[in-house]
């Protein structure tokens, strides 16, 4: 059994620390949210280490300082920001003991501020550290300690006179902790990398579907060219035309009976051009997503070859954090998707529910135009007006509506209703989820989903 889980071994350690360290002053403290290291005055410069993290709670004393990689993995807080420092720095140890019925290790201190008790819970799935003052008030603690750690101990636990040993703790604890941190860091890196891979793979899948759908442009062009061949044989008002293409293959073409055959042909050519523009954009994004996924797979191979804590932390900082930070920096530097219509009018598009909220309620101006596909989920779209919404041509608003339709669940519909109103008439309902919005004085524009040429 691990000695820090053994009540008898803990009593032996307490006896040893009581004989060796009582009367010695703490001259320096290091630590974080789940650990402390107390440096004691004296020629041997002993440090006492107490660690209480999920899955591990242990303690030991040593004349040697643990490797820097251990402190990095534990996450060190600057001493001046570590609140326990002001209570224990320059405090003198004047008692060490273990609760009679529980695996709770206790160090008693005396300082100019009075008495303090540092308790370490060593039982349960996760241990805890608690600092009590002389009145039993919690001054510092980690997590949610067991109630037994929140009461002042019986003073009798500090009075036993016997020799003890710390050798087993010194021998086992440092290696055990480092092994635990290696496993913890490896799992964190693997999970972080897996999330990035999952996101990249999902993006590749979605973009592949979009790319396949964009192939519809070839069919639209084929319809237009076939109509051109038979233009003289089609009358206005035709709803369905059965025509043979240039290769003699019969096609069924759904027409708009309200338009002339020429207008129908032009409409199919227009849809083909839109699909082509969308296809180019999707193809570029698809190549980028595939490359990112390949890079992440290479990083997985690199991670599998690492074994030491120092290597793992360096890899995490160099590669994993860089991937995460790069994504954050892109979002910070260039929030929202951006398009320019007719070389003048800027359109901003939210990329997530959180961005939709930020775009609508913080980044945009009251006099901007606000657009959203009607009846389906989609991006919030802002058409910037420089404070002069009345100067925006109808054609520009229609193109902005086409963008709103494109970035919605109705992207693959031929005609999409898009609501448009001034941003000042858009409200966020109370207690609503991110991205929710309600609006007033809206109008509806019917458009075909599409993106501008730029």
State the Cα–Cα distance between residues 111 and 106, nearest whole angstrom.
16
pTM over the 0.85 mark? no
Dist CA 287 CA 196 (whole Å): 17
Sign of the dihedral through C-alpha 297, 299, 301, 307: negative
Q: How far apart are CA 116 and CA 363, in angstroms?
A: 51
CB distance 150 to 130 below 8 Å:
yes
CB atoms within 10 A of CB 150: 15
What does each of the 454 residues of the chain score in pLDDT, given as a tens digit? 789 999 999 999 999 999 999 999 999 999 999 999 999 999 888 999 999 988 899 999 999 999 999 999 999 998 888 999 999 999 999 999 999 888 999 999 999 989 999 999 999 888 899 999 999 999 999 988 999 999 999 999 998 667 789 999 999 999 999 999 999 999 999 998 998 899 889 888 878 877 776 667 788 889 999 999 998 899 888 999 999 999 999 999 999 888 899 999 998 888 787 777 767 777 888 898 899 899 899 999 999 999 999 999 999 988 877 666 655 544 444 578 889 898 889 999 999 998 999 899 888 889 999 999 999 999 999 999 988 899 999 999 999 999 999 999 999 888 999 999 999 999 999 888 888 999 999 999 999 998 886 5
Q: Are 70 and 132 spatial neighbours (Cβ–Cβ below 8 Å)?
A: no
Cα–Cα distance measured from residue 286 to residue 208, given in angstroms and rounded to the nearest whole number: 7
By the 8 A CB rule, do 353 and 377 touch?
Answer: no
């Amino acid at each position: 059994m691990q000695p820090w889980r053994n009540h008898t071994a803990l009593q032996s350690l307490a006896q040893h620390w009581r004989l060796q360290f009582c009367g010695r002053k703490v001259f320096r403290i290091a630590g974080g949210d789940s650990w402390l290291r107390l440096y004691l005055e004296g020629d041997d410069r002993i440090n006492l280490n107490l660690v209480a993290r999920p899955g591990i709670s242990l303690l030991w004393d040593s004349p040697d300082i643990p490797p820097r990689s251990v402190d990095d993995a534990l996450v060190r807080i600057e001493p001046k920001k570590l609140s326990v420092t002001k209570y224990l720095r320059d405090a003198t140890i004047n008692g060490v003991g273990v609760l009679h019925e529980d695996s709770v290790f206790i160090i008693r201190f005396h300082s100019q501020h009075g008495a303090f008790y540092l308790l370490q819970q060593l039982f349960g799935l996760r241990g805890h550290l608690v600092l009590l003052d002389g009145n039993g008030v919690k001054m510092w603690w980690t997590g949610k300690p067991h109630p037994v750690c929140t009461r002042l101990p019986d003073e009798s636990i500090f009075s036993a006179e016997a020799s003890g040993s710390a050798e087993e703790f010194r021998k086992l604890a440092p290696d055990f902790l480092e092994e635990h941190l290696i496993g913890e860091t490896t799992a964190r890196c693997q999970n972080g990398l897996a999330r990035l891979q999952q996101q990249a793979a999902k993006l590749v899948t979605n973009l592949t579907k979009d790319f396949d759908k964009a192939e519809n442009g070839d069919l639209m062009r084929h319809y237009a060219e076939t109509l051109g061949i038979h233009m003289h044989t089609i009358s206005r008002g035709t709803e369905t035309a059965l025509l043979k293409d240039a290769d003699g293959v019969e096609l069924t073409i759904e027409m708009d009976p309200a338009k002339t055959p020429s207008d129908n042909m032009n409409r199919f050519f227009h849809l083909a051009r839109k699909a082509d523009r969308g296809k180019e954009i999707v193809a570029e994004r698809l190549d980028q997503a595939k490359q990112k996924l390949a890079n992440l797979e290479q990083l997985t191979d690199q991670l599998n070859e690492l074994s030491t804590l120092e290597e793992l932390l360096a890899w995490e900082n160099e590669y994993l954090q860089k991937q995460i930070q790069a994504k954050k920096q892109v979002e910070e530097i260039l929030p929202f998707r951006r398009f320019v219509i007719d070389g003048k009018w800027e359109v901003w598009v939210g990329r997530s529910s959180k961005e939709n909220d930020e775009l609508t309620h913080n980044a945009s101006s009251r006099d901007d135009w606000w657009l959203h596909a009607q009846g389906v989920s989609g991006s919030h779209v802002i058409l910037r007006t420089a404070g002069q919404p009345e100067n925006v041509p109808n054609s520009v608003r229609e193109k902005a509506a086409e963008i709103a339709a494109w970035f919605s669940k109705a992207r693959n519909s031929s005609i999409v209703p898009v609501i448009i109103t001034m941003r000042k008439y858009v409200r966020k309902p109370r207690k609503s989820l991110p991205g929710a919005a309600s609006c007033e004085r809206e109008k509806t524009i019917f458009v075909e989903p599409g993106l501008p040429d730029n």
